[in-house]
Amino acid sequence: DTAVSQTPKYLVTQMGNDKSIKCEQNLGHDTMYWYKQDSKKFLKIMFSYNNKELIINETVPNRFSPKSPDKAHLNLHINSLELGDSAVYFCASSQPGWGGTEAFFGQGTRLTVV
């Protein structure tokens, strides 16, 4: 069973479209994240949710809207896609606090905007 699963793995779309990426974790973690990896492989946090509540929003454009229907799911919706949004998006989960576990990453979603 995959611990953190993202769908789709690949997404090719035109500029201006709206798209969503889904993420689910079966680790029972309280915290979930979205990270963006650019073409130079640099990883940067976008959002963090703890028990469905937004904790971190790293000055991401408001075209990006995360949604957490429950603590096992964190989806990412992107409006009006731009060329610069092309990247690999990683979902991750962790259990913070004493005795917790470090961030476990999904396989990534490679988004290509044309």
Partner 1 sequence: GQQLNQSPQSMFIQEGEDVSMNCTSSSIFNTWLWYKQDPGEGPVLLIALYKAGELTSNGRLTAQFGITRKDSFLNISASIPSDVGIYFCAGRLDAGGTSYGKLTFGQGTILTVHP
Q: Interface with partner 1 by CB under 8 A: which residues?
A: 4, 31, 33, 35, 40-45, 48, 50, 55-56, 90, 92, 94, 96, 102-108
If 0-12 CB within 10 Å is exposed, 13-18 middle and 19+ buried, where does residue 52 land? middle
Q: Which is nearer to partner 1, 16 or 28 (CB)?
A: 28
If 0-12 CB within 10 Å is exposed, 13-18 middle and 19+ buried, where does residue 69 land? exposed
How far CA 28 is from CA of 38, 55, 58, 79, 109, in Å, comes to 29, 18, 25, 30, 22
Least Å distance between CB 94 and partner 1? 6
Least Å distance between CB 61 and partner 1? 17
Q: Which is nearer to partner 1, 15 or 43 (CB)?
A: 43
Q: Which is nearer to partner 1, 1 or 102 (CB)?
A: 102
